[in-house]
Amino acid sequence: MKLFRKRSAGLGCTLISYVDDGDIIVQSSEIDTNCVMLRHAYGIVFDLFTKSGLALEHNKTELFHFTRARTGFNRSLDLGYEPYTGDNPLKPKTYWRYLGFYFDRKLTFQEHVRYYSTKALTTVMAMRMLGNSTRGLSPRNKRILYRACVVPIATYGHRLWYFEGAKTKGALKTLTSMQRKAACWIIGAFRTSPTGGVESLAGLPPIRLHLHKLSQRAVFRTATLSDTHPLRSLMRGEHAKTAAPALGASCWMSVDRQKTVRDAVTETSSKLDNLTETFSPCAEENTPGERLLDRYQKRVLFDEFDPKGEDALSKRRSSLDNMQRQAARDRSTVCCGTDCSVPRQTTRQATASFVIERAGNDPIASTWAAGKITSACAELFVIRAAIVRAVSLDECDHIMVFTDSMASARRAVDPSVHSGQAHSLAVCKALAAWLSQGEDCYIEFIGTPSKLEWGVQHKAAAGWC
């Protein structure tokens, strides 16, 4: 790739590859100019491959022009190598298939939608052999089968054609018709049943709402990409991070041109400003071999509660009482109880509380408004607050965190990209510094069911009542 960039510096072309598939991309104001540039670039690639002992299969070469011109868009290319030379030039294709995506010359992606909607429809029709309204699979299993096997097919590559400002009426009509047939099969309804009714009875959201949800997820998932990810090279402003701008990046366009462009990248750049959470995909704490559990796996312990078996709650209460008695005799042990509350009213914020107890010291308690977040994020927030406060105490070599959310406890020491990663990074950084002080330092996360209303964990729960 580097050799190609050096030798093609004056051509203004780009070479991308995926395994054994390579693409030479050029752009100019005229198709004739593109053909000349493509021929020179192909010659450079052939020369580099030959010198490396590799071979190019010329008969597998394809040509495709992206243009909105009404005439002259089918210009052939004399490749200069057999069999596409002389009287048999390389002719452009009507549609180009690459990595499962179907491109047309105007980038409307109508063929892509037609292909995958048809494939999804035939899959639904084939599923009819698995059951009907009287025998075979139950409606619940039919719905699971449809959501797992058909919906991913129908929505594959949806970001190519579904974005803000795109003309999607025809595509949505095709996909809605497909889902209607699936809904009728799931509940055994008549073919004349209304679309909205059968979708509701089958438990299927309208396809347009499902696509909107997937698109929003894709937009915000972009924030989890590394600073040098190729997608960032197409963005502008702070969202480009440290990636070098690509030839087609919006930063090369005029201000007036940027206002008229409508595509998935433009939508992503504009909507990422609404994201209030920050992510660090390349954080130092997330480096393989330097993660907290990689370095101190034996000193970060998890005591899960097993609800199975007879008298599970009473046995757990007895075990927790023993832990508390042992901690009360040791001044170097710190007990932290954490809990949170998420109101059902969406207009109100979640609250989070922790209580820290230590033999011979007064309890430390604190309560915060955690914002409009989920219970998992609120639990993660309060675990972070409790741990950061506990490691700051003098002569502390044993921390016990009593929580009713062990999933959040495990996430607290996971520095990878996830919701609330900033809290996890703060926990990992604080614990790494604390654990490095001595071999005797260790931390325990202890599952404490809320039903028990036990000890320090219940005191934290009472902080927000």
Say yes or no to pLDDT of 127 above 80.
yes
Residue 391 in this model has a pLDDT that exceeds 90: yes
Gyration radius (Cα) of the chain, Å:
30
- The domains located in the chain, with CATH, are 2-93 (no CATH), 110-219 (no CATH), 225-274 (no CATH), 284-462 (3.30.420.10)
Q: Can you give the pLDDT at residue 465?
A: 41
Nearest to residue 16, comparing CAs of 36, 45, 37, 40? 45
The rounded percent of the chain whose pLDDT value lies above 70 is 99
pLDDT-based confidence at 139, cuts 50/70/90?
Answer: very high
Assign 72 to helix, strand or coil: coil
pLDDT band at 208 (very low <50, low <70, confident <90, very high): very high
Q: Provide the pLDDT for residue 149.
A: 94
Q: Is the pLDDT of residue 464 over 50?
A: no
Strand pairing partners for 21?
Answer: 18
Average pLDDT, the chain: 90
* Confidence band for 63, pLDDT divided at 50, 70 and 90: very high
Q: Say if residue 83 is preceded by a cis peptide, omega within 30 of 0.
A: yes
DSSP string, 334-374: EEEEEEEE--SSTTS-EEEEEEEEETTS--EEEEEEEES--
**Residue bearing the bigger pLDDT, 20 or 290:** 290
Mean pLDDT of 270-287: 89
CA distances from 275 to 219, 222, 265 (A): 10, 11, 16
pLDDT at site 182:
94
> Do the Cβ atoms of 389 and 356 come closer than 8 Å?
yes
Report in angstroms the alpha-carbon separations of 75 from 24, 42, 64, 66, 236: 17, 17, 9, 11, 34
User: Angle at the Cα of 434 (from 430 to 438), degrees rounded to 5?
Assistant: 165
User: Given pLDDT bands bounded at 50, 70 and 90, which one contains residue 15?
Assistant: confident
Listed in order, strand segments (DSSP E) in 13-172 are 14-18, 21-25, 95-98, 101-104
Q: What is the mean pLDDT of residues 241-259?
A: 80
What whole-number percentage of the chain has pLDDT above 90?
54
Task: Determine which of 87-96, 147-156, 162-171, 253-262 has the lowest per-residue pLDDT on average.
Answer: 253-262
Contact between 356 and 334 under an 8 Å Cβ cutoff? The reply is yes
CB 183 within 8 A of CB 127: no
Report DSSP state, residue 241: T
Flag whether pLDDT at 310 surpasses 70: yes
User: For residue 441, what pLDDT is reported?
Assistant: 94
pLDDT at 82: 85
For residue 386, pLDDT over 60 is answered with yes
The Cα 125–Cα 178 span in angstroms is 10
Beta strand pairing status for 333-341 and 95-98?
A: unpaired
CA angle 233, 238, 241 (to 5 degrees): 45
Q: Which residues contact 53 (CB under 8 A, 6 or more apart)?
A: none
Mean pLDDT of 329-348: 90
Q: Give me the pLDDT at residue 463, please.
A: 63
